Amino acid sequence: MTVYGTGLGLYPYGETGTAENDEVSSTYEGRHLTVLGTQITSEMAGHALQQKGHPLVVGENIVGVAFNTEVAGGYVTFDTEGIWLLSVVATDEAGENAVVAGDELFIHKTNGIISKNNNKNTHAHFGYALGGVEANHTAIISVKVHWDPDDAEELVGTHAAPLTNAEDSKIFREYRYRSTSVVGDIRGQYMELLLAGVGASGEAGRNRTMIEAAVAVAHGCHDGVEFDTGGSVTGLAVGHRATYKAKNAAAAATIAGGMSELWADGAATNFATATVHSIHRFVVDGDAGGRATAQNVWEFANLPTGAGTGYMLDTGQNATASTDGLRCIINGAVYMVLVASV
């Protein structure tokens, strides 16, 4: 039985008379590849056909430098490694950025321009700079070509050019892990941002859902703890936990363990027109019978207690011994919210 395919079109040298299991290329462990010119997805400005010595992209991630100038309808052989003198533009996804020796370089999948722009929506990893280029300038430098589709630094889309897909139930990026360890502190993912610049500000992570049409439901972020069959917790289970870890010194600035906010984007913002609005919403959801067993709206743990204005839970706010007060700040002033013990 003969099977015909329509793969990338990388063909054996001496393509006639070849058979299954024949070696395609032994040149330097297969670093030289050959494709039809029509399968090259990048096109240098001013050239309808691929030029000898110019960088190229095949598909989404295969990169290299052409050994020969393309003839219409013909093949192009290219090198996926090596050191080449190539034109490099000193820009990245944020704008002007000088190139220095050792920088990773990326090639635009459509126009073949090499720069430091690592937006994987539009660029593929190309190699490493062996020379320098001043910011926002273009220069010919030595480039170590290295096809590395699994490069560790990834950037999929930008605000101006997001990765777009019209599929229903599309998950753009998904990570699923299972740990069988019975000890230790297991984390599915861990992000740490070290702010070392005086006066800087930053976030280890930010999740935003940008609503661009009349949608039904949207969440900026949805965290949760769930249980599979046989799953249980003997200690603490929290759907979302926010922690402000104070250093062993006097606190400064404005601090909070967590914050919910309504943000007005302009003077025309009108929260009152919403069906219901609140700064924070408490919901008991799920099965009606199960919902009925929920009794507490919130819990305060480890509150400093006593009598006087310096305590979070003040037990001296009312002559009735069963009435206490929770210390809070409203518009900058300290108030006590009276609570009664059961």
What is d(CA 88, CA 134) in angstroms, rounded to the nearest whole number?
10
The predicted-structure confidence for 248-262, as pLDDT tens digits, reads as follows 999 989 999 999 999
Burial 202-231 (b: 16+ CB within 10 A, else e): eeeeeeeeeeeeeeeeeeeeeeeeeeeeee
Residue ranges of the chain with pLDDT lower than 70?
1-27, 149-155, 317-322
Its sign, for the CA torsion 123, 96, 44, 87, is negative
pLDDT of residue 15: 52
Q: Which of 129, 159, 189 is the last residue of a domain?
A: 159
- pLDDT value of position 237: 94
Domain boundary residue, one of 137, 159, 181: 159
Residue 178, SS3?
coil
The sign of the torsion formed by the CA atoms of 82, 88, 90, 95 equals: negative
Count: domains in the chain: 2
Residue 110 domain-assigned?
yes
Compute the mean pLDDT over every residue in the chain, rounded to the nearest whole number. Answer: 86
pLDDT at 319: 58
Please tell me the predicted confidence (pLDDT) of residue 150.
57
Cβ atoms of 88 and 133 closer than 8 Å: yes
Task: With CA atoms as reference, report the closest residue to 310 among 339, 340, 337, 334.
Answer: 334
Task: Provide the pLDDT for residue 227.
Answer: 94
pLDDT, position 14: 43
83, part of any domain: yes
> What DSSP string runs through 269-329?
--GGGSSS--SS-----S-HHHHTT---S----S--EESSTT-SEES-SSSSTTEEEEEEE
Domain span at residue 333 reads: 305-340
- Whether 22 is in a domain gets the answer yes
- Residue 88 belongs to some domain of the structure: yes
Residue 185 lies in a domain: no
Instruction: List the one residue out of 119, 130, 50 whose CA is nearest residue 86.
Output: 130
Please check whether residue 23 lies inside any domain of the structure.
yes
Domain boundary (159, 192, 215) is at 159
Q: Tell me, what amino acid is at 264?
A: A
Residue 288 in domain:
no
CA distances 311 to 87, 244, 257, 337, Å, are: 67, 20, 18, 13
Residue 312 lies in a domain: yes
